Structure 1
Amino acid sequence: MSVCSTLDPCRCPLCGQDNRCAMAAQAPTNAQAACWCTREQFSAALLQQIPDAAKGKACICQGCVQKTARTT
């Protein structure tokens, strides 16, 4: 079972799709697993697109990261 709440840390704050964040999907009592996002480079331009309410609370999905990488 996921611990996702109203501001859903399991959803990309840019497109709303599942961000597949292993850390957000972990129950608080479990050891946090490493996630794909820990091995990814996020551009400053991409990070600036995150709404203030979601900053530090929800990961960007791989699709948005890859889309930005192709356009920059």
Structure 2
Amino acid sequence: MSRETISQLHSTVHLIELARKNVHSANQKIQDAQDKLYLSWVDWKRSIGYDDTDDSHYAEPIESCSLAVA
């Protein structure tokens, strides 16, 4: 192999490693944002006095919609 080919391979490996690190970082940021959004949603539900202990009244419309989509 020539030096140029080895240099290109090294650059390619470096780019792959950099992309892997950035993807991991992006995934972590997305997970953090999802967690914050969920906590905000839970806080909002509490603030309006929503009691989510009985969600059975939502089951039928959700199931019906799911079947329609399927």
- TM-score tier by shorter-chain length is under 0.3
How high is the TM-score relative to the length of structure 1?
0.23
- Report which of the two structures shows the higher radius of gyration computed on alpha carbons: 2
Higher relative contact order (CA 8 A, sep 6+): 1
How high is the TM-score relative to the length of structure 2?
0.24
